[in-house]
A and B are shown apart, each in its own frame.
Chain A
């Protein structure tokens, strides 16, 4: 075996670096320590459920000191009384059964924890512990030490008890209960057995049926009455009006029939109708509970920050308490929560959360630094300029687009159809009534009610939920996660697509690295590779991955100077890697500044530089070419136009490129497009796109890791599937086609039912057959069609 993977985390172990312990191989001491902890506590079962399930623990020294602060602690805890506390922690690493097992056996690692329960789909663990024997901070440290570092952000600060809405489950339960029992009790009526014995019990059966229909009619169907009432008030005819009308008429007519002993009424159809429609509703509301589509900056900002008081003491304070003029301490890997001025000499700030740009920016003392960046390297100090809500980035969320909760931005396809459906239905009902009234008043009333009952657009109303629900699942399997089913309709309407540049059409994982300068000897390359190994700077990591594998050599002296580069000695050579000023390269022209590069100097000889270029995603050119045939494509970027030439070479000719866009400007750009009547899809990634994503008709967030990062949006697309964007758009068009086809089918059923109704022949038995039959045909039709079309090659 040439490649070996770590027993704990499964990563490939670099050559000659493996650590042997207990006859197992580990890639680093971190992984070994976790194994030691587990084996000491009889918890090695952890490795039995899944192969190499672990993660390397990260260094979190001082990161969670804020959990000592009582005020913050009270906000994070879900429940606290006497010495029992409960906390729900979000742990992104939860991914397999081993994770569930170890997290539910935490009490064996830490006395004081009584129970811990994992919610796998939400990636959360709920821990009940005794706050006198163990503190939350030590639990968090324990979790981190075994590789399950919890994710605590500003969002946790406002956790109340989040109420789960289970009313739909109750309604479906009630509807099913009523439906099932009514069906059983209706059997004697269906067969019309003229038997004395059964006839004498008819009133008893009918009363029971009536009583059973009440909860279904009054409770389960209540949502339709409310929705119908609203739609009448706002004068927007939606599909719920004929449904509510049908249900109410059905109930009244059936009660009347029963009282007058005309027949058994339509209670069975009523119960089945309500049940099937609620089932459709439930099918449509597929949610991806491990994803969040409502995230704002709060999910990314820390809950507390270290403040330096006037007497130089350090104190953890909640972020909302940070005021202008305060001095803050930001550690390695910590997020800068507010705008401020850098007090320390130098800082390397990674704005990838905000812009999607992977390369950190160097700031000098006195420079303004903006909220949202992550400090990399040493501890820095800063002075606050604006409080959290006033900061450059967070101000975006005070825009009105984030204020109002837009329930539904557009009319759905079903509602559009029902604008015609409802008036026509009423017209037929009245025409039938008008015709029969001259012949027989009794039949006239029967016909009138029968029309409303049979035309109750159950199948029509079910078409969209089942089609969209199914497409939603199909897309989810292919890593395009939609917020809800309505997004599919929006996708089909899109005519303009706006892309963000950095992080969206470029990837931040790989970089295109070019070398300019004197050729290196193998020895020198080996030297560079080994020097880079010690550095955690993103550029060093990228270059390290780019260079070929070499044997390890010993580095005698290693020094990393923040914002400058690396100075190292090895094999009696001095190696300098870093910025041009640090390496003192003689060749300096002004165009160099806009490019990201690493310069190399060995033993005072300047060799050359590695240039990092944006790497565009695979398949981008083809995607843009196909998209440009049907859509208007625009590219927005927050950067300067240094990449313009490269982009123009890749993109189709008529593509509009806009550079130097601030977050608000992106939002305005989308707004302007919409004002000209365009349906805009925004494809973005970072927090600076959040405004544009919210403003657009469909906001798609491209994410390298769907579990971790994505701003508020309508859909989350896994970055690996980016080149298939066209497929998803095509699929949304197809789903609209399916819906239209099945609308035709269900209208056919309606016509058949209506012919029974207007001739006055609608028997309860006929209704009881037509209604479920149409429902089943429609559901199977749309399920089959959507699965068939999604498998077909749509390109």
Chain B
């Protein structure tokens, strides 16, 4: 068995894996809202800062 069969099959298989991942992503609604997540990703850190240091949230966030 020639190696080309193996290589091409593997490459197609990998491509199909990505394709399935895409379908799953669309199905779960990830593409319905393409704006909010981009804002949300910036929030996490700031939440922690305020809850840990009640007194000096202003100095912290200017860093």
Contacts and interface: CB of A to CB of B under 8 A. Distances in A.
Interface of A: 42-45, 48, 97, 100-101, 104-105, 117-122, 164, 166, 169-170, 173-174, 177, 180-181, 185, 201, 204, 208
Given A44-B57, A97-B39, A100-B39, A170 B15 contact: no
Given A119-B33, A164-B32, A105 B47 contact: yes
Contacts of A44: 50, 57
Contacts of B51: 42
A117 B37 CA distance: 10
B39 A120 contact: yes
B10 interface: no
Interface residues of B, number: 30
Contacts of A201: 2, 4
Nearest to A197: B4
B8 A204 contact: yes
A267 to B, nearest CB: 15
B49 to A, nearest CB: 8
Contacts of B5: 204
User: Chain B: interface secondary structure?
Assistant: helix
Interface in B37-55: 39-40, 42-43, 46-47, 49-51, 54
B33 A45 contact: no
A174 B23 CA distance: 9
A45 B47 CA distance: 8
B36 A42 contact: no
B23 A100 contact: no
Given A104-B40, A105-B47, A120 B29 contact: no
Contacts of B4: 201, 204
30 contacts: A42-B51, A42-B57, A44-B57, A45-B46, A48-B46, A97-B39, A100-B36, A100-B43, A101-B43, A105-B47, A118-B36, A118-B40, A119-B36, A120-B33, A120-B36, A121-B33, A164-B32, A166-B26, A169-B26, A169-B31, A170-B26, A173-B22, A173-B23, A173-B26, A180-B15, A181-B12, A185-B8, A201-B4, A204-B5, A208-B8
A121 B35 contact: yes
Given A100-B40, A101-B43, A105-B47, A122 B33 contact: yes
Contacts of B23: 170, 173
Contacts of A119: 32-33, 36
B4 to A, nearest CB: 6
A100 B41 CA distance: 11
Contact of B43 (A104, A120, A181, A185): A104
Contacts of B40: 100, 104, 118
B9 to A, nearest CB: 9
B5 to A, nearest CB: 7
Contact of A166 (B2, B12, B27): B27
Given A45-B46, A45-B50, A48-B61, A177 B19 contact: yes
**Closest 4 CB pairs between A and B?**
A120-B36, A119-B33, A97-B39, A177-B19
Contacts of A170: 23, 26
A169 B31 CA distance: 9
Contacts of B31: 166, 169
Contacts of B35: 120-121
A117 B35 CA distance: 13
Nearest to B5: A204
Nearest to B19: A177
Contacts of A177: 15, 19
Contacts of B43: 100-101, 104
Contacts of A181: 12, 15
A43 B50 contact: yes
Nearest to B9: A208
Nearest to A178: B19
Contacts of A101: 43, 46
Nearest to B35: A120
A48 B35 CA distance: 20
